[in-house]
A and B are shown apart, each in its own frame.
Chain A
Amino acid sequence: MAKITYVTHDNQSHTIDVDNGLTVMEGAVQNDIPGIDADCGGGMACATCHVYVKEDWLDKLPKKEDGEEDMLDMAFEPKKNSRLSCQLIVSDGLDGLIVNIPSKQG
């Protein structure tokens, strides 16, 4: 289990306990956190679960697989700290992770 903090575009902060094995995307969707659409349901095929990861977390996260950066090309306002939240699998190591949700997914 890990405490994940989702900060929405209007600066509302939601801290949720997310079970290990779920993705950061699923943690948001299952808890009705607005701003993560996840249209394709976690298939790394739509770039609508895009989040910005707090800088100090960037190196601690699982590395991007082939294809994630390609999908981020299509995301709304991608930045250096952009990730697809469906590719971030929750483990104890992610406890305290903070992600910012962009103003739009597309």
Chain B
Amino acid sequence: MKKTDALIIGAGPTGLFTAHQLKLIGLDCEVVDNLDKIGGQCIELYPDKPIYDIPAVPECTGEELTNNLINQLKPFDIKFHLNERVDEVKRDDDNWFVKTNSGKTFLTPNVIIAGGVGSFEPRKFPPKECEKFENKSLFYSVKDKKKFEGKTISIFGGGDSALDWAVELSKTSKVNLVHRRDEFRGAQATVDKIKELKNAGKIQLFTKYQLVDVKGSSQLENIDIKHDDGEIKNLKTDYVLGFFGLIMQLGPIADWGLNIDKKTIKVDTEKFETNQKGIYAVGDICTYPGKLKLILSGFHEGALAARACFKLARPNEKYRFEFTTTSSKLLKRLGKKE
């Protein structure tokens, strides 16, 4: 079990700047995020879209903003736990016991939820029957491509993930690529490659079709796909892969006894503390009268929550406000002074 002064859930812009503020005032912290990379919505939803309302930054993309925030954290040693979702937050005397889905555990007086709109999870196929085969013969990501060798795979989706895997798996498997329309949103070079493979008979392409049923006993045997005009085709297939991007789900946060209103968590505006002492919510996931869902609001909220953490992490010390321009203590922490 790891002990830390504060645990941040979410490595988006708000979580990153909150980490900065914690380290600056002399607290240690660790960050957990369900995505495989740092940046949250900025990196997952709009890495290339320009943002124009970050103070003193006239224009930057989600990716640039993320990189700048990571750079700002360089003086500090912060442990990130990516690809992990916090599943459990339980009271343990004066601390919170935190457990992730991979079994990692933390003990901390402060938990800061900077979770945006929740954790990113794969979007799933609509038919209910799909659940029965999930993680057995139906997947939303590829972890081990070897199991597909020599098999028939039906891949659904029109973006880069679907197309890249169709190209890759067509080398060793029989691939059906199914998409709801004629156009693909993947990179043009990959789309061209798909057409080439289709003409060479390496990939079967079904456009304007969607999945309506999956059949089989324990193992998947065949699926029904339906054309826009109502025609249903049955395809024999060993595996199904679906690539429809990610969606944000509040997930386990809903079970931690917090005051939740429409997927947001109510906080006070002094400490950004929830109804549970030592649990804070900052950024898009928190709500209070006048809340603005802007990145700049998340920075402000994180800075204040970090100060509140000090009290619980260092009960016998007094927090003193200092400026980075003048405080030699802060400059030392920033690595600017011996």
Contacts and interface: CB of A to CB of B under 8 A. Distances in A.
Interface of A: 37, 39-41, 43, 45-48, 69-70, 73-74, 76-78, 80, 104-106
A74 B122 CA distance: 10
Contacts of A74: 123, 159, 244-245, 247
Contact of A73 (B41, B45, B49, B244): B244
Contacts of B245: 47, 73-74
Nearest to A38: B117
Given A43-B45, A46-B248, 16 more contacts: A37-B263, A39-B247, A40-B41, A46-B247, A69-B183, A70-B158, A73-B157, A73-B158, A73-B159, A73-B244, A74-B159, A74-B247, A78-B210, A80-B228, A105-B247, A106-B247
What is the size category of the interface that chain B forms with chain A? 20 to 34
A48 B45 contact: no
A48 B293 CA distance: 17
8 contacts: A45-B49, A48-B247, A69-B183, A70-B185, A73-B181, A74-B247, A78-B180, A105-B247
Nearest to A103: B126
- The binding surface of chain B is classed by DSSP as loop
A61 B244 CA distance: 26
B41 to A, nearest CB: 7
Contacts of B124: 106
Given A39-B117, A73-B157, A45 B126 contact: no
B46 interface: yes
With most chain A CB atoms within 10 A of its CB, the pick from B126, B158, B179 is B126
B45 A106 contact: no
Contacts, number: 51
Interface of B: 41, 45-46, 49, 117, 123-124, 126, 157-159, 179-181, 183, 185, 210, 228, 244-245, 247-248, 263, 293
Contacts of A80: 228
Contacts of A45: 41, 45-46, 49
In the A-B complex, the 6 residue pairs with the smallest Cβ-Cβ separation, listed nearest first, are: A106-B247, A70-B185, A45-B45, A74-B245, A39-B117, A74-B244
B85 to A, nearest CB: 17
Contacts of B179: 73
A105 B123 CA distance: 9
Nearest to A79: B228
A74 to B, nearest CB: 4
With most chain B CB atoms within 10 A of its CB, the pick from A69, A73, A77, A104 is A73
A41 B295 CA distance: 13
Nearest to B185: A70
A74 B156 CA distance: 11
A39 B248 contact: yes
Nearest to B249: A106
Given A76-B126, A106-B247, A46 B181 contact: no
A19 B248 CA distance: 29
Contacts of B46: 43, 45
Nearest to A105: B247
Contacts of A106: 123-124, 247
Contacts of B126: 76-77, 104
Nearest to A106: B247
A76 B123 contact: yes
A10 to B, nearest CB: 17
Contacts of A46: 45, 247-248
A40 B263 CA distance: 13
